[in-house]
Amino acid sequence: MNPTLRNQAEFTCFDGETIPLSSYFDDEADCSDASDEIDWEADWTDCVYDAAGFWTCADSMPQGIWSGGMQDDGSMIVMFMDDESILTININSDMSIASFQIEDDEPALYTAGTGDHDLMMDMTLEEAAPPFAVGFDGEAIQEATFECNDGTIIEFALLNDGAYDCTDEEDEPDYDEEEVSYWMCADESTYISLSSVSDGYADCEDGSDEVLTSNFDCNDGTTITLDMVSDDNMDCADGEDEPEFQEGEDMNSFYCADGSDSIYMSWVNDDYNDCEDGSDEGAGQGHGYGDYMVGAVGIAAGDLIEWNGGSLTDATSADGMDLVLSMCDSFNTIDGDEGELSAAEDCGDDVERWSFVDLAAGNVVGIEFFDADESGTLTDGDMFMITEDLETMEDWNAVRLAKGMAYADENPEVVLPGFTAALGIISMLGAALLVRKNE
Report the relative pairing of strands 383-386 and 288-296 from DSSP bridges.
antiparallel
Tell me, yes or no, whether 18 and 70 share the same domain: no
Tell me, yes or no, whether 137 and 220 share the same domain: no
The torsion defined by the Cα of 374, 295, 410 and 435, in degrees rounded to 10, comes to 70
Tell me, yes or no, whether 101 and 120 share the same domain: yes
Report the relative pairing of strands 54-57 and 47-50 from DSSP bridges.
antiparallel
Q: Could you tell me the sign of the dihedral formed by the alpha carbons of 92, 98, 99, 100, in that order? A: positive
Q: Which domain, by its residues, includes 256?
A: 145-176+249-281
> Residues 182, 196: contact at Cβ < 8 Å?
no
Tell me, yes or no, whether 172 and 255 share the same domain: yes
Tell me, yes or no, whether 289 and 361 share the same domain: yes
Domain count, the chain: 5
Tell me, yes or no, whether 156 and 271 share the same domain: yes
HEC string of 381-436 equals: CCEEEECCCCCCCCCCCEEEEEECCEEHHHCHHHHCCCHHHHHHHHHHCCCCCCCE
Final residue before a domain boundary, out of 257, 281, 305: 281
State how far the Cα of 110 lies from the Cα of 118, in Å rounded to an integer. Answer: 9
Tell me, yes or no, whether 233 and 256 share the same domain: no
Taking the chain (439 residues) in runs of 10, the rounded mean pLDDT of each run is: 56 80 80 66 44 43 60 74 77 67 67 40 48 88 88 92 94 92 94 94 94 94 94 94 90 87 93 88 86 80 61 85 92 78 90 96 96 90 95 92 86 52 45 27
* The pLDDT value given to residue 16: 77
State how far the Cα of 38 lies from the Cα of 45, in Å rounded to an integer. Answer: 9
The torsion defined by the Cα of 191, 197, 199 and 205, in degrees rounded to 10, comes to 50
Residues, the chain: 439
* The pLDDT value given to residue 37: 67
Tell me, yes or no, whether 343 and 257 share the same domain: no
State how far the Cα of 95 lies from the Cα of 90, in Å rounded to an integer. Answer: 10
* The pLDDT value given to residue 114: 40
DSSP H or E run through 356: helix 356-360
State how far the Cα of 423 lies from the Cα of 173, in Å rounded to an integer. Answer: 49
What residues pair up with 101 in beta bridges, in sequence order? 88, 109
Write the CATH number for 47: 4.10.400.10
pTM: 0.50
From the number of C-beta atoms within 10 Å of its C-beta (0-12, 13-18, 19+), residue 407 rates as buried
* The pLDDT value given to residue 69: 64
Tell me, yes or no, whether 404 and 424 share the same domain: no
* The pLDDT value given to residue 393: 87
| Residue type at 238 in one-letter notation | D
Tell me, yes or no, whether 106 and 221 share the same domain: no
From the number of C-beta atoms within 10 Å of its C-beta (0-12, 13-18, 19+), residue 145 rates as middle
Tell me, yes or no, whether 296 and 317 share the same domain: yes
Tell me, yes or no, whether 321 and 361 share the same domain: yes
* The pLDDT value given to residue 72: 78
Other beta carbons within 10 Å of 114: 11
